[in-house]
Amino acid sequence: MTPNEAVITKFYTAFANSDAQTMSECYHPKVHFIDPAFGLLKDEQVSKMWKMLLLKSKGNIKIEFSDVKADDFSGSAKWVATYNFSKTNRKVVNKIRAEFIFQDGLIIKHIDDFDVWKWSKQAFGLTGYLLGWTGFFQKKIQQQALLSLNKFEESK
């Protein structure tokens, strides 16, 4: 296992154990995170997002990861999150592809990619099926996710 594969493994093991602090330790202070739900997050926002998601899940999230690969500069992994979406209480099984860039032995860029339409069908049912593929609906998801994160940051 390369040192950066060890960082990815540490990150997802901590995630599976609902350990936001250890997840945060895997990130460079200037980290950039991008995914379809939140868009671009930077610096401490990234760790706060994971902390918020873990707290909202109340221990009812299952994380599985595989295909961890990394060299001195970049890496990747596949992971699956199984949970009940908080707004609808509908079960979601989200399959995600992650890409990483490393600096100083830490993750400086983390990109998660998943099929938003598949996710929205699970999270929102018929509404997600009918609208989840549209840019409008995806923008709405991002706005709600960022609003949720902002409220979480203000409450801390």
147 falls within a domain: no
- Residue 32, amino acid: H
Taking residues 79-104, report their average pLDDT: 95
139 falls within a domain: no
Does 137 score more than 70 pLDDT? yes
Give the contacts of 48 (CB within 8 A, at least 6 positions apart).
149, 152, 153, 156
Check if the beta carbon of residue 64 is closer than 8 Å to that of residue 79.
yes
Token pair listed for 138:
């995806």
Token pair listed for 134:
């549209």
Q: Could you report the per-residue pLDDT of 34-78, keeping only the tens digit for each?
A: 999 999 999 999 999 999 999 988 889 999 999 999 999 999 999
Token pair listed for 116:
């938003």
121 falls within a domain: no
Taking residues 110-128, report their average pLDDT: 95
Check if the beta carbon of residue 98 is closer than 8 Å to that of residue 79.
yes
Number of domains in the chain: 1
pLDDT of residue 96: 98
132 falls within a domain: no
**CATH code: domain of residue 41:** 3.10.450.50
- pLDDT > 90: percent of the chain: 85
Give me the domain span that covers residue 95.
1-114
Confidence of residue 156 (pLDDT cuts 50, 70, 90): low
> What is the DSSP-derived secondary structure letter of residue 90?
-
- Pairwise CA distance, residues 155 & 100, whole Å: 30
CA 20 to chain centre: 12
Q: Could you report the per-residue pLDDT of 2-35, keeping only the tens digit for each?
A: 999 999 999 999 999 999 999 999 999 999 999 9
- H-run or E-run covering 71: none
pLDDT of residue 86: 83
